Amino acid sequence: MHELSIVASVVDSVTESLAAYPGARVKEVRLRVGVLASVIEDSLHFCYGIAIEGTRLEGSKLVIQILPVIARCDHCNADVELAGLQSFRCPRCGEPVNDLRQGRELDIDSIEIEDAEETVTP
Amino acid sequence: MTTRIVELRQGILKKNDELARGLRAQFQTAGVLVLNLVSSPGTGKTAFLERTLRDLRTGGARVAALVGDLETDNDARRLAASGAPVRQINTHGICHLEAEMVTKHLDGWKLADLDYLFIENVGNLVCPSSYDLGEKIRVALLSVTEGEDKPLKYPTLFNSADAAVITKIDLAEPCGFDRDTALQNIREIRPNIRIFETSAKTGAGMEDWLAYLSAERAVRNA
């Protein structure tokens, strides 16, 4: 439900970063989104198309990397990946896991930009 | 023409997170225990909070509340009847509270004069889980009328909670509420969570809840 405001924040942050690259064209914006981040991938894409209109991000592609939950299992003394969100237990030993190491991310990872062509004087 | 990657590596909600961190530090310095109450619409957050505010005040604690809704100040008026200072936050369509709204609505309140501050979030089990409000304790509420599988349906919120409160337990029997399954589902999503079974109407479970609040506050100020 709040994907539009999330995407609007992405557009703002990327626009701010672009100040250092005058004239550059944005090709891709790459996000890292944990499965516990409470956002829907399709909605992000849908909202992105609307939010970039008339900005320096117009024409760019949104790439979303979805991250599974990784939790610390004290019993196995290892970081383990959970298969889904229906059970917060170690897939190896079945013990409950509380200490999450990954899964809540809602980050801008990087952007791919194309620098402006150098002005060639005839 | 050269193409290159620029690493940004920043949180999308960076602004909210920074504000929330600031609030958390402020709350800690003031010695006020802050709780963020989250549930679906209709779970009974306001009734539970009314009872909590009243009982805490009877015990001599200094309490205040912020209450979020899309529109109306009905909840603030209900809660203010407890005698505690209460402010309504109207989000006008936004489905969750953000740290900035909390900051604005605290203006003029002296936090050091408070023991507890409750923030009742907008009724929604999805979006509030992404927004840190600077609270120390996030409370997920679930009523006996909602179905025991709610924690499984909304794992992102329940997994982010520090305590779970089951409300309306006076209605458990007529609703055919399966207590064991509900408790098991909550713990499947959030192992080790503290669970309170309460009724704002009869006062059942309130003693445990108040003891928990008092113990948590003591830890903060130790």
Task: Clarify whether residues A2 and A25 are in a common domain.
Answer: yes
Cβ atoms A89, A56 nearer than 8 A: no
Q: How far apart are CA A29 and CA A7, in angstroms?
A: 11
The overall pTM is greater than 0.90:
yes
Do A38 and B189 make contact, defined as CB atoms within 8 angstroms? no
CA angle, residues A56, A62, A64, in degrees to nearest 5: 145
Do B96 and A86 make contact, defined as CB atoms within 8 angstroms? no
Give the chain A residue nearest B155 (alpha carbons): A85
Nearest residue, CB atoms, A115 vs list B2, B129, B191: B2
User: Which value does ipTM take for this structure?
Assistant: 0.87
Task: Clarify whether residues A96 and A108 are in a common domain.
Answer: no
Task: Clarify whether residues A57 and A31 are in a common domain.
Answer: yes
Do A21 and B6 make contact, defined as CB atoms within 8 angstroms? yes
* Minimal CA separation from A95 to chain B, in Å: 10
What would the two tokens of residue B81 be? 């009847």
Inter-axis angle of helices A41-51 and A3-18, nearest 10? 50
CATH number at residue A28: 3.30.2320.50
Task: Clarify whether residues A94 and A109 are in a common domain.
Answer: no
Classify B9 in phi/psi space as left (phi over 0), alpha (psi -120 to 50) or beta. left
Task: Clarify whether residues A48 and A30 are in a common domain.
Answer: yes
Classify A76 in phi/psi space as left (phi over 0), alpha (psi -120 to 50) or beta. alpha
Compute CA distances B17 → B11, B151, B170, whole Å: 8, 25, 38
pLDDT for the residue A117 = 66
Report chain B residues whose CB lies below 8 A from the CB of A6: 12-13, 130
Task: Clarify whether residues A76 and A88 are in a common domain.
Answer: yes
Report chain B residues whose CB lies below 8 A from the CB of A15: none
- B143-188: pLDDT as tens digits: 999 989 999 999 999 999 999 999 999 999 999 999 999 999 999 9
Q: How many residues in chain B?
A: 222
Could you tell me the residue range of the domain that residue A115 belongs to? 1-68+103-122
Nearest residue, CB atoms, A117 vs list B1, B15, B156: B1
Task: Clarify whether residues A31 and A85 are in a common domain.
Answer: no
Do B191 and A97 make contact, defined as CB atoms within 8 angstroms? yes
Do A108 and B95 make contact, defined as CB atoms within 8 angstroms? no
Report chain A residues whose CB lies below 8 A from the CB of B160: 36, 104
Residue B167 touches partner A, C-beta closer than 8 Å: no
Report chain B residues whose CB lies below 8 A from the CB of A114: 1-3
Task: Clarify whether residues A64 and A77 are in a common domain.
Answer: no
Sheet holding B163-167, edge to edge: B86-90, B63-69, B116-120, B33-38, B137-143, B163-167, B194-197
Task: Clarify whether residues A63 and A96 are in a common domain.
Answer: no
Cβ atoms B35, B116 nearer than 8 A: yes
- A52-110: pLDDT as tens digits: 999 999 999 999 999 999 999 999 999 999 999 999 999 999 999 999 999 999 999 99
Per the structure, the count of domains in chain A is 2
What does the mean pLDDT of chain A come to?
93
